[in-house]
């Protein structure tokens, strides 16, 4: 037997779907099918021609760097409120595999509502920068949701009509700024930057800096590096879309390792993640009518997953 080759994460160009207000049906079909093929295969893809202005991404990254550079006690003045899903999460508060990963070296700032808690007193530029980026992510979400419905051959408004209240109290979508600090000397055994997990929602957009370290588990159980590619957004499937599609689209496991080279490990890594979720009351059940998954509301699913990972 010879080893199966690692699967690759494909690059998909959104073409007119990313840019034009009125793409042709042929273009919707092409993009919809390409997206669904990739998301049904390795569950991840790099999106090109996505229409998100990279200046907005840069600005959000620079305000996140400003915030995470503050003293810990200042950051702790903006704690994440679990009900509101907004605020600062210190290193080691959220663990994906607490039993096997005693330490996960990352801190985060979650934003669900643009008029919610922000560190305005210390980083006033953060709220406007995050709002502009989130607006763009919402516009892109609507395009991708429609393209996926076309690709799956279902009612083309099904997904957009179940994601109407993104970034409100009625929907768990969230923009998360992440900082993986330089790894301290004498790192305890089993430490990791971010443990193996699947995302909880519909789809996720990931903007990463140039450090690398993210890995994705392919169908052969090999870990494939999701190396940053300039000007692209990494997109992946969350649990809810896997339920909805009866596993046609796959919520692939991923993790972020501490680099083995000491020099790189001593440098910060940053990413910004936009988690797209359906509106809270939406009942998620397999769209093909099968009984592969028990129906559950979007809200109940998220509450369950959060309770497994937060160390409150
Ligand atoms: O920082 C990254 O590259 C990935 C983070 C991630 O997978 C997550 O927060 O769900
Ligand atoms: Fe993730």
Distance CA 220, CA 238 (A): 19
pLDDT in tens, 225-265: 999 999 999 999 999 999 999 999 999 999 998 887 777 77
- 199 touches ligand 1 (CB under 6 Å): yes
Beta-strand pair 296-297/223-225: unpaired
pLDDT in tens, 145-186: 999 999 999 999 999 999 999 999 999 999 999 999 988 777
Give backbone dihedrals phi and psi of 30, rounded to 5 degrees, phi first: -60, -50
Contacts of 102 (CB under 8 A, 6+ apart): 188, 190, 191
Residue to mutate, 96, 176, 177, 194, ligand 1, most ligand atoms under 8 Å from C-beta:
194
- 252 touches ligand 1 (CB under 6 Å): no
What integer is the mean pLDDT of 14-37? 91
Taking the CA of residue 199 as reference, the ligand 1 atom at the shortest distance is 10
Instruction: Check: CB of residue 254 under 8 Å from CB of residue 215.
Output: yes
Full-model pTM: 0.94
User: What pLDDT is stored for residue 109 in this prediction?
Assistant: 98
- 178 touches ligand 1 (CB under 6 Å): yes
Give the H or E element holding residue 131: helix 126-152
More confident residue, 2 or 221: 221
- 272 touches ligand 1 (CB under 6 Å): no
From the CA of 161, how far away is ligand 1's center (Å)?
Answer: 27
Beta bridge partners of 86: 81
Residue to mutate, 80, 85, 97, 178, ligand 1, most ligand atoms under 8 Å from C-beta:
178
Residue to mutate, 176, 204, 271, ligand 1, most ligand atoms under 8 Å from C-beta:
271
For residue 48, what are the CA distances in angstroms to 9, 39, 55, 184, 307? 13, 15, 16, 36, 35
Closest CA to ligand 1's atom 3: 214
> Could you give the angle at which helices 25-41 and 126-152 cross, rounded to 10 degrees?
100
- 254 touches ligand 1 (CB under 6 Å): yes
Kindly list the domain boundaries of the chain, sorted by start residue: 2-309
Q: What is the mean pLDDT of the chain?
A: 92
In CATH terms, the fold of domain 2-309 is Jelly Rolls (2.60.120)
Distance CA 224, CA 74 (A): 38
């Amino acid at each position: 037997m010879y080893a199966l080759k690692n699967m690759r994460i494909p690059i998909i160009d959104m073409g007119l779907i990313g840019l034009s207000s009125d793409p042709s049906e042929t273009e919707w079909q092409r993009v919809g099918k390409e997206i669904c093929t990739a998301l049904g295969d390795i569950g991840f893809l790099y999106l090109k021609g996505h229409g998100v202005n990279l200046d907005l991404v840069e600005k959000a990254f620079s305000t996140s760097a400003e915030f995470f550079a503050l003293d810990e006690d200042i950051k702790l003045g903006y704690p994440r409120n679990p009900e509101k899903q907004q605020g600062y999460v210190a290193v080691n508060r959220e663990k994906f595999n607490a039993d096997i990963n005693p330490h996960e070296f990352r801190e985060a700032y979650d934003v669900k509502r643009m008029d919610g808690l922000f560190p305005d007193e210390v980083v006033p530029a953060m709220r406007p920068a995050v709002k502009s980026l989130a607006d763009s992510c919402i516009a892109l979400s609507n395009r991708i949701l429609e393209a996926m419905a076309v690709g799956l051959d279902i009612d083309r408004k099904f997904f957009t009509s179940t994601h109407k209240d993104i970034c409100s109290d009625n929907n768990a979508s969230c923009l998360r700024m992440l900082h993986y600090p330089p790894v301290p000397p004498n790192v305890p055994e089993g430490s990791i930057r971010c443990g193996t997990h699947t995302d909880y929602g519909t789809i996720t957009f990931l903007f990463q800096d140039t450090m690398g370290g993210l890995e994705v588990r392919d169908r052969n159980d090999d870990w494939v590096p999701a190396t940053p590619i300039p000007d692209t957004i990494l997109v992946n499937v969350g649990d809810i879309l896997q339920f909805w599609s009866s596993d046609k689209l796959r919520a692939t496991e991923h993790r972020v390792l501490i680099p083995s080279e000491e020099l790189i490990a001593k440098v910060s890594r940053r990413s910004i993640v936009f988690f797209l979720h359906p509106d809270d009351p939406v009942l998620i059940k397999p769209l093909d009518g099968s009984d592969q998954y028990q129906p559950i509301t979007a809200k109940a699913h998220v509450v369950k997953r959060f309770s497994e990972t937060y160390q409150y």
